[in-house]
């Protein structure tokens, strides 16, 4: 959210590691994008994936110049600071409690606490690429894609 409006965050490469928030539903000529703070290492980028439920933070992942993932982090819109929670993972997604973040890494699903930075493995799948994890509205079901012999979309009950 930007000033009470829905918004989306986009990563723009021409200016090194710049990322901007654009309000949804406005004509391009009426846009007033909000720039995220740049990373101190301009060869790295922050790719955002998920708004916190209160609209004040963005969960994303850091990329190195070679495209490899460097971990899950949170960008605070008020302080304009990044807080790195892990040094691995991708596909971060906020839980409705505004504290925990679901993410995937090398065939496993994890949850990290954004305050304590403690993480734990929720579910190990076989070696492979997990993609597009999601949460049901009540946060009781985790779903994700995983290429397997008989099923590509998996569902996991979260307790």
Task: Examine residue 77 and state whether it is found in any structural domain, yes or no.
Answer: yes
Task: Examine residue 55 and state whether it is found in any structural domain, yes or no.
Answer: yes
Q: Which domain holds residue 65?
A: 7-157
Query: What is the predicted pLDDT for the residue at 81?
Result: 95
pTM strictly above 0.75: yes
Query: What is the predicted pLDDT for the residue at 27?
Result: 86
DSSP 65: T
Alpha carbon of 10 to those of 18, 104, 130, 143: distances in Å? 9, 21, 23, 24
For residue 126, how many other CB atoms are within 10 A of its CB? 8
Task: Examine residue 65 and state whether it is found in any structural domain, yes or no.
Answer: yes
Task: Examine residue 2 and state whether it is found in any structural domain, yes or no.
Answer: no
Query: What is the predicted pLDDT for the residue at 42?
Result: 79
Task: Examine residue 54 and state whether it is found in any structural domain, yes or no.
Answer: yes
We report the CATH number of the domain holding residue 31 as 2.130.10.120
Number of domains within the chain: 1
Encode the chain (159 residues) as per-residue pLDDT tens digits: 444 555 555 544 445 667 788 878 888 888 888 888 888 887 888 887 899 999 999 999 988 878 788 899 999 999 999 999 999 998 999 999 999 999 988 888 899 999 999 999 987 766 667 778 889 889 888 888 877 666 687 777 876
Task: Examine residue 70 and state whether it is found in any structural domain, yes or no.
Answer: yes
Task: Examine residue 1 and state whether it is found in any structural domain, yes or no.
Answer: no
């Amino acid at each position: 959210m930007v000033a009470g409006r829905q918004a989306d965050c986009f990563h723009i490469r021409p200016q090194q590691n710049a990322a901007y928030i654009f309000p949804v539903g406005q004509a391009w000529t009426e846009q007033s994008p909000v720039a995220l703070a740049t990373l101190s290492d301009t060869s790295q980028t922050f790719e955002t994936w998920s708004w916190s439920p209160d609209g004040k933070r963005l969960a994303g992942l850091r990329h190195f110049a070679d495209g490899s993932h460097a971990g899950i982090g949170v960008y605070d819109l008020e302080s304009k600071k990044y807080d790195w929670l892990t040094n691995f993972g991708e596909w971060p997604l906020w839980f409705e409690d505004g504290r925990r973040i679901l993410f995937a890494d090398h065939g496993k699903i994890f949850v990290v606490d954004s305050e304590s930075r403690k993480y734990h493995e929720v579910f190990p799948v076989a070696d492979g690429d997990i993609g597009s994890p999601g949460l049901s509205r009540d946060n009781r079901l985790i779903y994700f894609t995983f290429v397997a012999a008989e099923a590509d979309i998996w569902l996991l009950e979260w307790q």
